[in-house]
């Protein structure tokens, strides 16, 4: 067996042959944070734990999405093949879940065609992630022959503009008063682009500095919960999430078996799209009787139990993959 050179061995960011199970572990862990975040009845600004979860879980998810793309694979795609690559495994499940959410919400608040029309520009509740992610994938495809650093520079400028102009956390931007498309099309772009650039460049940052910046960013942003800092909150938020994404090569080279997270991460879209329906029902039926904390614990266990059981049933029919975008096999990254 050939022994790799020290230089090659030190580049943990270089993609390896075969599937990396740490990807599912990280995805699953982030999905669990999404589920926990949705168990709260308070707003993000109204609970310190929820504030902490929302400070990083979706930016890191988008950073991971960018990191898993390669410019080489994008250069092989036509626009038609790009759409076909994501149509049944991402876009159609999102569309079905979005329609279901709009219809169920409409039963309580009144249904209008405008609600269906806004699914793309102003996706309701949790459904924003898929159109935002796919928009970034299309943008990366359009810029596939351009140096990824240029894409990152564009994304940083647009992201900074979005955070300042549209708002972030306690900061209310001047454009917040207008009926504009979802601001996350701008504010989340830097994190996706940074992950994409990190993969293409093969850069590896010092684990010590990454850890220091993560701790500093999280501590600074968490302090803003009790002491709102307005526009200045953008700084620790950006530091925290860019540092977390910078640590992806380290995270993905570390394999710590977490069976629950692994299993959820394998079908992350299924758990992401459909868990809010169960939690919404639990809040109506359980929280009022048991109280929020006991109700949240019951809802968490019940949601995962039902979703795992439903997944076993859904796998028996191939057409049900349209509801979840379930993968048939683990692919190399």
pLDDT tens-digit map of 205-249: 999 999 999 999 999 999 999 999 999 999 999 999 999 999 999
**Does residue 316 belong to any structural domain of this protein?**
no
Counting every residue written for the chain, the total comes to 333
Domain extent, residue 148, equals: 42-254
* DSSP letter (8 states) at residue 172: E
Given a contact cutoff of 8 angstroms between Cβ atoms, the answer to whether 200 and 70 are in contact is yes
**Does residue 129 belong to any structural domain of this protein?**
yes
**Does residue 15 belong to any structural domain of this protein?**
no
**Does residue 162 belong to any structural domain of this protein?**
yes
Q: In this predicted structure, what is the pLDDT of residue 135?
A: 97
Q: In this predicted structure, what is the pLDDT of residue 64?
A: 98
* Residues of the chain below pLDDT 70: 1-18, 318-320, 326-333
CA-closest candidate to residue 199, choices 305, 83, 77, 333: 333
The whole model's pTM is what? 0.89
**Does residue 225 belong to any structural domain of this protein?**
yes
Q: In this predicted structure, what is the pLDDT of residue 59?
A: 98
CA-closest candidate to residue 240, choices 261, 263, 216: 216
**Does residue 133 belong to any structural domain of this protein?**
yes
- The tally of domains found in the chain comes to 1
Place of tokens 């394999």: 255
Q: In this predicted structure, what is the pLDDT of residue 236?
A: 98
Helix 79-86, helix 129-142: angle, nearest 10: 150
CA-closest candidate to residue 242, choices 134, 129, 156: 156
């Amino acid at each position: 067996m050939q022994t790799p050179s020290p230089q090659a061995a030190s580049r943990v960011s270089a993609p390896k042959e075969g599937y990396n199970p740490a990807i599912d572990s990280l995805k699953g862990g982030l999905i669990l944070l999404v589920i926990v975040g949705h168990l709260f009845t308070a707003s993000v600004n109204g609970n310190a734990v929820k504030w902490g979860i929302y400070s990083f879980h979706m930016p890191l998810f988008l950073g991971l999405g960018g990191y898993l793309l390669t410019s080489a694979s994008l250069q092989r795609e036509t626009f038609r093949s790009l759409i076909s690559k994501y149509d049944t495994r991402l876009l159609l499940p999102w569309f079905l879940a979005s329609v279901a959410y709009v219809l169920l919400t409409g039963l309580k608040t009144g249904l209008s065609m405008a609600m269906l029309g806004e699914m793309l520009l102003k996706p309701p509740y949790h459904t924003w992630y898929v159109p935002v992610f796919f928009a970034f994938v299309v943008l990366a495809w359009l810029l596939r022959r351009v140096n990824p650093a240029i894409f990152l520079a564009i994304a940083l400028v647009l992201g900074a503009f979005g955070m300042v102009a549209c708002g972030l956390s306690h900061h209310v931007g001047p454009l917040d008063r207008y009926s504009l498309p979802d601001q996350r099309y701008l504010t989340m772009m830097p994190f996706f682009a940074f992950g994409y650039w990190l993969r293409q460049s093969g850069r590896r940052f010092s684990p010590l500095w990454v850890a220091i910046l993560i701790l500093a960013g999280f501590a600074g942003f968490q302090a803003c919960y009790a002491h709102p800092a307005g526009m200045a909150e953008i700084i620790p938020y950006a530091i925290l999430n860019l540092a977390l994404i910078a640590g992806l090569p380290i995270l993905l080279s570390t394999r710590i078996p977490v069976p629950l997270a692994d299993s959820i991460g394998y079908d992350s879209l299924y758990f992401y799209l459909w868990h809010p329906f169960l939690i919404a029902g639990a809040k109506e039926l359980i929280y009022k009787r048991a109280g929020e904390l006991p109700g949240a614990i019951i809802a968490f266990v019940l949601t995962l139990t039902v979703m795992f059981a439903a997944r076993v049933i859904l796998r028996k029919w191939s057409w049900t993959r349209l509801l979840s975008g379930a993968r048939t096999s683990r692919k190399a990254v």
